[in-house]
Amino acid sequence: MKAIFDERQWRHDPQHFMANGTISPNPEQPRRIEVLHAAAQAAGCRFQPPQDAGRGPIAAVHTAEYLTFLETIHPRWRRIDGAGPEVIPNIHPGNRSDSYPRSAVGQAGYHQADTACPIAEGTWEAAYWSAQSALTGADLIADGGERAAYVLSRPPGHHAFADMAGGFCFLNNSAIAAQRLADRGLRPAILDVDVHHGNGTQGIFYDSDTVLTLSIHADPERFYPFFWGHAQERGTGRGLGSNLNLPLPRGTGDDAYLQTLDLALQRVRSFGTDVLVVALGLDASIDDPFQGLAITQGGFARIGAAMAATGLPVLFVQEGGYLSETLGTNLTRTLTGFKEGA
Ligand code: ZN
């Protein structure tokens, strides 16, 4: 299987993280790259760098205002007297108004949903190349040569909305790839298996029926991202019925998970999907520090095999999954399960 990664994705090295009122090291560490890269190679992946498809296909998903913000906010922030090294908002609008703030502090609050997406000097460059990696993966599939490809997109993307970062995410790599596939005449579904609901992806396609969005995740009643990911969120307008959320109780294990995955794949078929984008979070692992669900290494192999059984071309786009003893193995098992099931 071909795999895509760009060395510039190392340049995002977030420091700040706060959970439950406590400041701790940010779990989205660059070292994840090393682990995931080796794990993909262990599954037989051959890495190549992405092409540069330019800003256009990113702007097809994200607003121009937001892209300008991401690209320029760090040097502006550093000009504030006494500013810290990372852009972290200390004020958020309760509701967006018609007015767009001019100040760096105001814009940070406007475009950053939470404090888990600090922006430092290399963030834009890393996020840009993470998105380009996803675009090259989409093109490999759309060109017809590949049954599957793996994108080591990091920083991840599925919590990023059209104009808002959040939860370690800046550019929505899975959404950008799916939009690219749709623009090339295909009918994609994004199946998000990250332990956290793919709220940004849902938001981007919520009123559209060109991309089916599905997410299996720990119940947001008591889990990030709290405000999205509930079963009753089905889309709106033309998108009504094109969004399927399948929240699971905390601690759900392999068998119940695989049954839910079957439901999701039935919907994928009935949508007329001809290409599957898997938003591949590995943090549903029983060993993940977030402790949302309890998927074993064998469970990940079964998830990979279930994807293969669809017979569809599959683009795996890396989302979450944090440092633990089995992070790498879980990726290897997913991709190997896919290969053996294909
Ligand atoms: Zn996650």
**65 falls within a domain:** no
Kindly give the distance from the C-alpha atom of residue 64 to the centroid of ligand 1, in angstroms, as a whole number.
26
Digit-coded pLDDT (tens) for 69-114: 999 999 999 999 999 999 999 999 888 888 999 999 999 999 999 9
How many other C-beta atoms are found inside a 10 Å radius of the C-beta of residue 290? 21
SS3 at position 313: coil
Q: What angle do CA 287, 288, 289 make, to 5 degrees?
A: 115
What is the per-residue pLDDT for 145? 82
Residue 221 confidence (pLDDT) above 90: yes
Residue 213 confidence (pLDDT) above 90: yes
**CATH code at 210?**
3.40.800.20
Amino acid identity, position 41? Q
Which of the four pLDDT bands, split at 50, 70 and 90, describes residue 4?
A: very high
Kindly give the distance from the C-alpha atom of residue 20 to the centroid of ligand 1, in angstroms, as a whole number.
17
Kindly give the distance from the C-alpha atom of residue 159 to the centroid of ligand 1, in angstroms, as a whole number.
9
φ and ψ at residue 212, rounded to 5 degrees: -80, 130
The mean pLDDT of 166-173, rounded to a whole number, is: 98
Residue 41 confidence (pLDDT) above 90: yes
Rounded distance between C-alpha atoms, residue 181 and residue 187, angstroms: 7
The mean pLDDT of 310-325, rounded to a whole number, is: 98
Kindly give the distance from the C-alpha atom of residue 309 to the centroid of ligand 1, in angstroms, as a whole number.
25
Residue 13 confidence (pLDDT) above 90: yes
Digit-coded pLDDT (tens) for 234-284: 999 999 999 999 999 999 999 999 999 999 999 999 999 999 999 999 999
**330 falls within a domain:** yes
**171 falls within a domain:** yes
Residues 6+ apart with CB under 8 A from 298: 254, 333
Q: In the chain, how many domains are there?
A: 1
Catalytic residue among 159, 196, 197, 217: 159
**326 falls within a domain:** yes
Contact 286, 247 (CB under 8 A): no
Containing domain of residue 279, as a range? 2-53+121-341
Residue 21 confidence (pLDDT) above 90: yes
**79 falls within a domain:** no
The mean pLDDT of 278-297, rounded to a whole number, is: 98
**99 falls within a domain:** no
Rounded distance between C-alpha atoms, residue 317 and residue 252, angstroms: 23
Residue 165 confidence (pLDDT) above 90: yes
Longest Cα–Cα distance in the chain: 57
The two tokens of residue 86 are 């990372």
Percent of the chain at pLDDT exceeding 70: 100
Element holding 179 (H helix, E strand) = helix 173-183
- The alpha carbon of 301 is separated from its chain's Cα centroid by a whole number of angstroms, namely 20
Kindly give the distance from the C-alpha atom of residue 290 to the centroid of ligand 1, in angstroms, as a whole number.
8
Digit-coded pLDDT (tens) for 182-205: 999 999 999 999 999 999 999 999
Kindly give the distance from the C-alpha atom of residue 174 to the centroid of ligand 1, in angstroms, as a whole number.
14
Rounded distance between C-alpha atoms, residue 259 and residue 59, angstroms: 37
The two tokens of residue 57 are 């296909």
**293 falls within a domain:** yes
Dihedral, CA atoms, 324, 288, 173, 217, nearest 10 degrees? 170
What is the per-residue pLDDT for 342? 85
What is the per-residue pLDDT for 95? 85
**72 falls within a domain:** no
Mean pLDDT over all residues of the chain? 97
What is the per-residue pLDDT for 107? 96
Answer yes or no: 197 catalytic: no
